Amino acid sequence: MSKLWTDLVRQLKPYIPGEQPQDQQYIKLNTNENPYPPSPAVTRAINSFAIDDLRRYPDPESRELRQALATRTGLGLEQVFVGNGSDEVLAHSFKAFFEGQDKILFPDIGYSFYPVYCSLFQTGYQAIPLDSNFAINIEDYWQPNGGIIIANPNAPTGITLAPAAIRELLDHTDSLVIIDEAYVDFGADSAIALIADFPNLLVIQTFSKSRSLAGLRLGYALGHVDLIEGLNRVKNSFNSYPVDQLGSVAAIASLADEDYYQLCKKRIIRTRDWLSDALTNLGFEVLPSNSNFVFVRHASHPASDLYVELKKAGILVRHFNSLRIENFLRISIGTDDECESLIEVMKRLL
């Protein structure tokens, strides 16, 4: 600790991402990465990019990428904001909309970056408990609030809220509602269709999961033009050019290859179903997942032990040592081979 740190920095408890070991080859099922590579169109786009142009700054407004997203989602260009990963987009959203008087609301079990943003931006919050099945009870959010943020599907549970429930939520509040759809492409319904009816709805998505581009850092927000303008005001007071040139061309190429996207998505859903059944057969409780991971617990084997034993066997999964979920493991959906290896090791461990 340094006397030069501000008081705020002393108090921060930073987010801890899943391990990205640089030393050893693991079967890596811990950070919800896609087991399949990006579209071949991405490879072509990067390989045909004129590297000499990197001497130039990118378009600070990322118009081409935003237009591609607008076209895909049926929204206008001014309804799309892009950033350096959806984490940056989330951070700017907290700064732009969540510094009001009232506490914001989010589930007690959810993306563990939300309380960290609250700490960074000094936003008060109230964590709303999931029900005993780890589902969101939407009526719990019908109370005065300074904003609401929900991951849908929720992380790390994988459980989905139906669009009708989100509509009901929006019918009961004038505050900003952020639906964080990092995992929406693996079988859930997006709230994008509700944007036309609700100027207080911001939907956040990412290229990291379903588009296999975690390594390039691309996320985006969709909503009413006034919300996007608010985000731009923050972004343009922070970093004029958050999206680099290669990231932009890669993302555009990925959006253009719908067939490949559908193929990978279907494969992951199929593997998820297989893995869920196999884990159930081994005595695990598997929460119903619409995401690219499953959240599971075993009646007689502590998750912390299983995590350690799996790591020894060369398989990384994620264990959160947090209240209510300390006995769960979050397992990202890998290839069929990777998931079969996991099941083989589990059989040996149990």
Which residues ranging from 78 to 137 are in contact with a copy of itself (CB under 8 A)? 84-85, 87-88, 91, 95-100, 116-117, 119-120
Stretch that binds a copy of itself, among 2-10, 103-111, 298-306, 316-324 (CB under 8 A): 2-10
d(CA 185, CA 348): 33
From candidates 25, 56, 131, 132, binder to a copy of itself by CB under 8 A: 56
Nearer to a copy of itself, 139 or 197 (CB): 197
From candidates 169, 250, 278, 329, binder to a copy of itself by CB under 8 A: 250
Angle subtended at Cα 323 by Cα 322 and Cα 325, rounded to the nearest 5 degrees: 70
Nearer to a copy of itself, 227 or 329 (CB): 227
Nearer to a copy of itself, 240 or 281 (CB): 240
Asked if 100 and 121 touch (Cβ cutoff 8 Å), the reply is no
- N-to-C CA span, the chain: 44
Q: Measured from the CB of residue 141, what is the shortest distance to a copy of itself in angstroms?
A: 17
Residue that is written with structure tokens 């849908």 in the block: 152
Asked if 120 and 146 touch (Cβ cutoff 8 Å), the reply is no
Q: Measured from the CB of residue 300, what is the shortest distance to a copy of itself in angstroms?
A: 33
- Looking only at residues 289 through 318 of this chain, which bind a copy of itself when binding is defined by CB under 8 A? none
- Looking only at residues 15 through 34 of this chain, which bind a copy of itself when binding is defined by CB under 8 A? 15-17, 20, 22, 28, 31, 33-34
Told to check if 262 binds a copy of itself by CB under 8 A, we report no
At position 169, the amino acid (one-letter code) is: L
The site for a copy of itself, by CB under 8 A, has a size of 87
Q: Measured from the CB of residue 180, what is the shortest distance to a copy of itself in angstroms?
A: 14
Helices then strands, each counted (H, E), the chain: 11, 12
Asked if 129 and 108 touch (Cβ cutoff 8 Å), the reply is yes
Q: Measured from the CB of residue 40, what is the shortest distance to a copy of itself in angstroms?
A: 9
In the shown chain, the binding pattern of residues 222 to 241 toward a copy of itself, with x for contact by CB under 8 A and - for none, equals --x-xx-xx-xxxxxxxxxx
- Looking only at residues 319 through 338 of this chain, which bind a copy of itself when binding is defined by CB under 8 A? none
Token representation of residue 250: 């890669």
- Looking only at residues 156 through 185 of this chain, which bind a copy of itself when binding is defined by CB under 8 A? 175-176
Stretch that binds a copy of itself, among 41-49, 135-143, 321-329, 340-348 (CB under 8 A): 41-49
Nearer to a copy of itself, 98 or 186 (CB): 98
Going across the sheet that includes 219-223, the strands are: 80-83, 219-223, 201-206, 177-180, 148-151, 104-107, 125-128
Stretch that binds a copy of itself, among 212-220, 307-315, 318-326, 332-340 (CB under 8 A): 212-220
d(CA 148, CA 302): 33
Stretch that binds a copy of itself, among 36-44, 70-78, 129-137, 308-316 (CB under 8 A): 36-44
d(CA 126, CA 106): 7
At position 48, the amino acid (one-letter code) is: S
Q: Measured from the CB of residue 126, what is the shortest distance to a copy of itself in angstroms?
A: 18
Helix, strand, coil content of the chain in percent (nearest 5): 40, 15, 45
Contacts of the segment 47-51: beta carbons below 8 A, 24+ positions apart: 49/245, 49/246, 49/249
Nearer to a copy of itself, 22 or 321 (CB): 22
